[in-house]
Amino acid sequence: MKALITGGNGFIGANFIIQNQHKFEQIVNLDNLSYAANLDLQSFLLKDCSYTFIKGSITDEDLVASIFEKFQFDCVINFAAESHVDRSIVSADLFVETNIVGVFILAKCALGFYEKSKNPKFRFLQVSTDEVYGALDGYEPASTELSALLPNNPYSATKASAEMLLRSFNRTFDLPTLTVNCSNNYGPLQNSEKFIPTLIKSALNDKPLPIYGSGLQIRDWLFVNDNCSAIMCVLENGAPGEKYNVGGTDQVTNIEITNRLCALLDEYKPKNIGTYADQILFVADRLGHDFRYDVDFAKIKFKLGWFPATSLDDGLRATISWYINAHQNQYSR
């Protein structure tokens, strides 16, 4: 299988390439190497991996079109996105440009390629988020693939818009699209601005651990390796035009996961005085902070046979170990 992977230097994209590189005959990675990019991705690749890196953005239509002219792809997997909610609240412009216009350009070029190649196995897979479904209250059932899209912040609104665009390309032009809506990912290679890396880095640097509002917001946590296996499962076995929720089995509050992290850090790198939990600091809640996300992943479980393999504690241990071992120099600054 020959793949165009966009955003392959990002958190999930890089983990996906590393984990599944042996399954592809050729990988072409288009990434603009933004602030969140993993610049050392190639050091994780096998020697026999046929890998081509192209620096650029999915918003550059001429570049995207030229890539489809040069290579023969069996699939497109789009990880490229602006993804930090706080940044979207401060300025949504780049989110609209990348997450909506960029997806439109990518789909437009993919459609032209698909119509010429007539490859019956061609797939366009969009990586989306559980945030498109909006907030749930404490007792509301988990969101299914049939739930309404009710985004509450600029980031999730742009991801929902991209989903609707791709749905239209499938229904109108028969582009064989697939969409995965994944819950909160965590694990190695995640940018330090995200919640769990922020907590780990702050804890090890003896800085406050910031918790928005009450800390009682609930998230469904999914280890990135499990998400990558789900994406590959959908790519290989999913039905064109369908979407699949990808979730974990651990719905916990932000303060609970913070306390779990602190307890594990007490094991890995005990402090001379006190515990890491002493550094917890409650701060003003952010704008548009949804209370709870949770997805029902019964569809991918029963139709495709996928199930998350990593418990929250095991995933947190692996994540802490990776950040300590791989970025020891960062935490000593």
Is 61 a catalytic site residue? no
Sequence-distant (≥ 6) Cβ neighbours of residue 157 within 8 angstroms: 151
The strand pairing partners of 28, in sequence order, are 4, 52
Of 82, 131, 250, 294, the catalytic one is 131
Of 31, 82, 130, 220, the catalytic one is 130
Instruction: To the nearest 10°, report the CA torsion of 85, 205, 44, 99.
Output: 10
Is 331 a catalytic site residue? no
**How many whole angstroms separate alpha carbon 332 and alpha carbon 324?**
10
State both tokens at 18. Answer: 């590393």
Q: Minimal CA–CA distance to 243: which of 256, 252, 230, 229?
A: 230
Is 130 a catalytic site residue? yes
**How many whole angstroms separate alpha carbon 234 and alpha carbon 226?**
12
Alpha helices in the chain (DSSP H): 11-20, 61-70, 85-90, 93-96, 103-117, 154-173, 195-204, 224-237, 254-268, 298-304, 312-326, 328-331
Task: Report yes or no: 128 and 183 within 8 Å, Cβ to Cβ.
Answer: no
The number of beta carbons lying within 10 Å of the beta carbon of residue 89 is 16
Of 155, 186, 244, 323, the catalytic one is 155
State both tokens at 212. Answer: 């928005």
Sequence-distant (≥ 6) Cβ neighbours of residue 128 within 8 angstroms: 159, 160, 162, 163, 179, 180, 181, 182, 243
Sequence-distant (≥ 6) Cβ neighbours of residue 164 within 8 angstroms: 149
Residues designated catalytic: 130-131, 155
